[in-house]
Amino acid sequence: MPSFLNNLLGGISGLLHNLLSQVLPLGLVQIILALIGIAVAVTFVALLVMSQVWAERKLIARIQDRVGPNRVGPFGIVQSVADAVKLLGKEDLIPKAADRVVFVLAPLAVMVPSLMIYAVLPFNWDATITRLDIGILYVLALATIPTIGIIMAGWASYNKYTLLGGMRAAAQLISYEVPEVLSVIPVVLIAGTLSLWGIAAAQQNAWFILAPVVGPLAFITFFVSGIAEINRSPFDLPEAESEIIAGFHMEYSGMRFALFFLAEYANAFTVSAIAATLFFGGWQGWILPGYVWFFLKTYVLFLVMVWVRGTLPRLRYDQLMAFAWKVLLPITLINLALGAFVRELGIMQWNWLILLVINIPVVVILYWLYNRFYRAAQRTGAPPLLETALAATQGARV
């Protein structure tokens, strides 16, 4: 039986179509309905972003022993609305020497692809806007386009710091796109489809996170690469305020800055939603409706992102690149071969409880190896840049 929400949206669309077609030409009716659909989608994403901002502020505040937003509305829940109104009222400034056309188009180049990804997200078994057979390829392709907008913003602002932020974003995307794609391939091999809906449906018996060795490794590499691609801390080098003031969006104000802000959180939701679909069954769950499970899993993964942001310091740029090419890439290549092995043996047909028991020691071993190599890197790693610079200065004085 189709879900109530799916029937509701379809019923409203049919009602509007019937009413408008009585007084307007059919072509104009379709254009109006398309514009209404776009407005609904943008409003939906804006509400998601407001809820994410509130949740992040409250969790970060708890991590830092603070209270967080608590003045505007109950528990500060309307604080994000107040911030949006504030940004709407700010003056829109464009630097005198900037390339005006590119400067204006850059926020749209970042925001529009971020919204287009929502068209293939399977919110429920019967609630996907478009069931593309190559949905995961569609997502991976669109995920690279916002970086072009970031480069546009950095170059058009006519500022060396914004340009540096744009170049950092390009290098970061090229580095982390490779392990991200490679971490998806084992899931595609096991599911036998490129459709996000099909991948979620294939996890009816057991989630792919339970695939022995392959699942935990693929999830970790995908999630870490996704955080790096959307420039979230500790990979937020394109906008590192301690080095390049604010990075690529430094010269933006008002709603143009708000579009960058909106795109960042929309992308954070997208990465969490895709991870929930690929590894945690998407809408698959028990008792509760599929929508509830989908949003619950997605928000839990988003809160993990916030937890990481409040825990880990920002990486140096050499550490950022070395981590992608020397750590994530070899792991994903090995995991790709293991994924083919799991596919051929048909291990995912086993009971989910057996798969869980197998994965517990796997996760323990992975954590032990990570801790061992991390401690070894701390002992033998290069000193921080600031300490190196201070030592060089003292040597020059002597």
* Token representation of residue 153: 């913003």
Looking at the chain, the whole-number percentage of residues with pLDDT higher than 90 is 11
Q: What is the pLDDT of residue 380?
A: 61
pLDDT of 308 > 80? The answer is yes
Average pLDDT of the residues in 128-152: 85
Average pLDDT of the residues in 247-257: 83
pLDDT of 268 > 50? The answer is yes
- Determine the Cα–Cα distance for residues 300 and 193; give it in Å rounded to an integer: 26
Q: What is the pLDDT of residue 388?
A: 46
Q: What is the pLDDT of residue 368?
A: 83
Which residue would you say has higher pLDDT here, 254 or 370? Answer: 254
Average pLDDT of the residues in 73-90: 84
Which 3-state string (H, E, C) describes the chain?
A: CCCHHHHHHHHHHHHHHHHHHCCCCHHHHHHHHHHHHHHHHHHHHHHHHHHHHHHHHHHHHHHCCCCCCCCCCHHHCCHHHHHHHHHHHCCCCCCCCCCHHHHHHHHHHHHHHHHHHHHHCCCCCCCCCCCCCCHHHHHHHHCCHHHHHHHHHHHHCCCHHHHHHHHHHHHHHHHHHHHHHHHHHHHHHHHCCCCHHHHHHCCCCCCHHHCCCHHHHHHHHHHHHHHHHCCCCCCCHHHCHHHHCCHHHCCCCHHHHHHHHHHHHHHHHHHHHHHHHHHCCCCCCCCCCHHHHHHHHHHHHHHHHHHHHHHCCCCCHHHHHHHHHHHHHHHHHHHHHHHHHHHHHCHHHCCHHHHHHHHHHHHHHHHHHHHHHHHHHHHHCCCCHHHHHHHHHHHHHC
Tokens 């830092």 label which residue?
64
pLDDT of 354 > 80? The answer is no
* Band of residue 282 on the pLDDT scale cut at 50, 70, 90: confident
Q: What is the pLDDT of residue 389?
A: 41
pLDDT of 219 > 60? The answer is yes
Average pLDDT of the residues in 41-57: 86
Residues 6+ apart with CB under 8 A from 90: 253, 254, 255
pLDDT of 236 > 90? The answer is no
* Band of residue 38 on the pLDDT scale cut at 50, 70, 90: confident
Average pLDDT of the residues in 367-393: 59
* Band of residue 1 on the pLDDT scale cut at 50, 70, 90: very low
Contact 187, 161 (CB under 8 A): no
Question: Averaging pLDDT over each range in 17-21, 36-40, 257-261, 377-381, which range is the top one?
Answer: 257-261
pLDDT of 151 > 80? The answer is yes
pLDDT of 390 > 70? The answer is no
pLDDT of 27 > 50? The answer is yes
pLDDT of 88-114, one tens digit each? 888 888 888 888 888 889 888 888 888
pLDDT of 386 > 50? The answer is no
- Determine the Cα–Cα distance for residues 354 and 218; give it in Å rounded to an integer: 19
Predicted model pTM: 0.82
